[in-house]
Amino acid sequence: MPDTSPLAVCVGEGMVALIPASAVPLEDARTFHRSLAGAEWNTAIALASAGIRTAVVSRVGDDGFGRFLAAELRRHDVDDSAVEIDDEAPTGLYVKELSPLPDGSIGGTMHYYRTGSAAAAMTPALLSAPAASALLAEAALVHTSGITPALSPGARAVQDELFAAPREGRMLSFDLNWRPALWRGREDEARRLLTGYARRADVLFCTRADAEAAFGTADPDALRATFPEPRRLVVTSPAGAIAFDGDERTESEALAVPVVETIGAGDAFAAGFLAGILTGLSLTGALARAHRIATRALASTRDHVD
């Protein structure tokens, strides 16, 4: 029998991350291991790990890195049927530079090599291709982030089409993911654009730091007053999260666990919260699930749960 459980579709850029084997300056790093990266792809893997039927809509290059990324999706039970292969543009990647922090955890600095990538060549035609169109028609949830529209005019048009399309009962989830390096020289334009997406989302995620930079305030109640349109708003910080569902407000503390590195934890948190919503959990229950899945991303230097 066909699987009729809720389907989540994540739309955005996938990349290969090259991660040093030790926390040393990049010029001293001799050995790297590769890993899947990209906010929406990280979220997709975490959703699948939570038992949610999940697919990715994106583009990769016709190269070894692209084949690795598609294989990683399949290994984590994520549908890659709508990941297009570009026979000209390469798969994007970034190199992570690790450094020890005073609290014993590891800090990560990303060095991106994504200009001209296959994902940056996205256009709205991606969404109307047969595989993607079928997935989007079935989706109970579509998830994307503020990274996608920064990649290129075509990628921005993809995002615009997702937000303009009839919802027909499906939720649209938007993670702010403010990345100033991607918007350099276009910061005011970015704030206007991302504010518009935030207002049209059904579920809005943002960290306090990103909200301060993009929206001018980090206060969760002020953010709720500014963004009354999304049914659910989730504001996170290292200490925990405050979530709103309509007029309901719930606060939760982060779980006390050893932290190796924090990159990717926000994507896992979003996945846990969305998995909770899709399976009918209360706001409190969805937050609890989000924290549990986020701890798995905190336990390694990979960007995604495993």
- Cα–Cα distance, 235 to 244 (Å, whole number): 9
- Cβ count near 21 (within 10 Å): 12
- Cα–Cα distance, 20 to 12 (Å, whole number): 25
Q: Which of 36, 234, 221, 39 is nearest to 145 (CA)?
A: 39
Q: Residue 47 carries which side chain, given as an amino acid letter?
A: L
List the catalytic residue out of 80, 86, 267, 303: 267
- Cβ count near 166 (within 10 Å): 6
Q: Which of 203, 195, 282, 287 is nearest to 240 (CA)?
A: 287
- Cα–Cα distance, 80 to 66 (Å, whole number): 11
118: DSSP letter: T
247 is catalytic: no
- Cα–Cα distance, 106 to 297 (Å, whole number): 13
- Cα–Cα distance, 8 to 6 (Å, whole number): 7
CA angle (102, 239, 109) in 5-degree steps: 45
257-279 per-residue burial string, b: 16 or more CB within 10 A, e: under 16: eebebbbbbbbbbbbbbbbbbbe
Q: In this structure, are residues 92 and 15 in contact, taking their beta carbons and an 8 Å threshold?
A: yes
Residue 205: φ, ψ to 5° = -110, 140
Q: In this structure, are residues 45 and 71 in contact, taking their beta carbons and an 8 Å threshold?
A: no
- Cβ count near 241 (within 10 Å): 23
Catalytic residues: 267
